[in-house]
Amino acid sequence: MKTFQVPEFYRSPIISAVKQYRKVQDPRKKDNSPTVLDFGPVQFYIARHFGFCYGVENAIEIAFKAIDENPGKRIFLLSQMIHNPEVNKDLNAHGVQFLQDTHGEQLISFDTLTTDDIVIIPAFGAPLNILETLRQKGIKTEKYNTTCPFVERVWKKSEQIGKTNHTIIIHGKYNHEETRATFSRSATHSKAIVVKDIKDAINLASFITENRTQAEFEKEFAGKFSEGLNIKTDLQKVGVINQTTMLATETEEIAEYFKSVMETKFGKENVNSHFADTHDTLCYATNENQDATYGLLNTDADLAIVVGGYNSSNTSHLVELCERKFPTYFISSEKEIESKTKINHFDYPNKKHVSTENFLPAKTPLKIIITSGASCPDSVVDAVMLKINSFFTGVKSTETVLKNLSTIPTI
């Protein structure tokens, strides 16, 4: 796989050594057991896969290339390049301005742009209407387009489904940048609709199997379907694609559910004419990170810390998985850890910031799971571990720990 020129300050001596160790020890990526970093009073269980993915490293390389190649020019990002506050803060510090927020609300008017300006397309891609607006203003976006190739693969899949007149069901968060970009393309090939979860999917299926009205559909899925979608004619053939960072098991569940709905309505012998079997369109990194998190669930850890941007979809799903078994703290950086007794973190289910006292159990050794989202720099994960180590005495040196890396047998 290609190696990207990512700024050195995103790299880390600890995590880089861990990843290199696992690369040698498990070159085929078959072992999802975590790596143990035994610092004595604290043992960190490190996920087999986490951190920067191909698409993120590609985006960061292109963004910093744009900065280096265009001194004196105004440089804009359409929106956040990736969902990580540290990376976006760094880009701001290098003079990059954001045209929109993550919900598509305008921060800087497109009317202020000139043909001399540089506009970087984020890793999530961009809706077609926005690309057309930039084209009409004489701004060429091809050179600094950081759209993830795995997102583009989803777009190609939507085109294939559309050519066979299937309505495209997108499993995603309808206001997420990637889903908006995917929806804009899907809607050019066929009718399209966004479902967030299995509950949404079951509701949509009721318009296929029951005698429900178009008015009910338009009210319940307002803002989530393409213009002119008719429930009587456009839900006879469907196919499922997804936002690449969604939970893999849920995408599979939704696809299998719609297949069963079509089998019930049209018969098993006819299902291939009514359901496009696309498998899932998740990216490799999302799959690997989620599989590695299942490996963490098989340990005897005391708690889990997940590091990443609070608006990062792929990171939020790692949090959801860890919460199935462990007290889990979702933080953006080591700055959220105030002391040995207090941590500030994001309560993802309730979408709010909270503080927890006495989050570290009084035991030795303390066993802590650590993983991070695909847009989180390894250097931030390093900083989290070092911050926690600072609260203890008798901590082994990093050099000693890295000489004694091992995987931990799962229970």
Three-state DSSP state, 43: strand
Q: Quick one: tokens of 263? A: 């089998």
Q: Is residue 384 part of a domain?
A: yes
pLDDT of residue 6: 75
At residue 76, what are phi and psi to the nearest 5 degrees? -125, 150
* 251-263 per-position pLDDT tens digit: 999 999 999 999 9
Tally Cβ neighbours within 10 Å of residue 399: 9
Average pLDDT value over all residues in the chain: 92
User: Is the pLDDT reported for residue 83 higher than 50?
Assistant: yes
Strand 352-357 to 342-347 pairing? antiparallel
pLDDT of residue 3: 64
* 183-196 per-position pLDDT tens digit: 999 999 999 999 99
Judge if 160 and 125 occupy the same domain. Answer: no
Domain, as residue range, for 13: 8-53+284-407
pTM: 0.85
Q: What is the CATH number of the domain that holds 102?
A: 3.40.50.11270
Give the residue numbers marked as catalytic.
178
User: Is the pLDDT reported for residue 9 higher than 80?
Assistant: no
Residue 170 CA to residue 164 CA, distance in Å, equals: 16
Q: What is the CATH number of the domain that holds 196?
A: 3.40.1010.20
Judge if 288 and 399 occupy the same domain. Answer: yes
Q: Cα angle at 279 between 275 and 284, to 5 degrees?
A: 155
Q: Quick one: tokens of 395? A: 């901590």
β-sheet bridge partners, residue 88? none
* 299-348 per-position pLDDT tens digit: 999 999 999 999 888 899 999 999 999 999 999 999 999 999 999 999 99
Judge if 320 and 382 occupy the same domain. Answer: yes
**Among the listed ranges 148-152, 191-195, 352-356, 407-411, which one has the minimum average pLDDT value?**
407-411
Of 249, 276, 303, the position where a domain reaches its end is 276
Q: Is residue 157 part of a domain?
A: yes
Q: Which residue has the higher pLDDT, 4 or 373?
A: 373
- In sequence order, which residues have a C-beta less than 8 Å from that of residue 50 and are 6 or more positions away? 289, 292, 318, 371, 372, 373, 374, 376, 381
Q: Is residue 373 part of a domain?
A: yes
Judge if 47 and 58 occupy the same domain. Answer: no
Query: Is the alpha carbon torsion for 341, 347, 350, 354 positive or negative?
Result: positive
**Share above pLDDT 90 across residues of the chain, in percent, rounded to a whole number:** 79
Judge if 228 and 162 occupy the same domain. Answer: yes
Residue 386 CA to residue 393 CA, distance in Å, equals: 13
Of 276, 297, 323, the position where a domain reaches its end is 276
Judge if 123 and 169 occupy the same domain. Answer: no
Number of structural domains in the chain: 3
Report the pLDDT averaged over residues 14-43: 93
User: Is the pLDDT reported for residue 108 higher than 50?
Assistant: yes
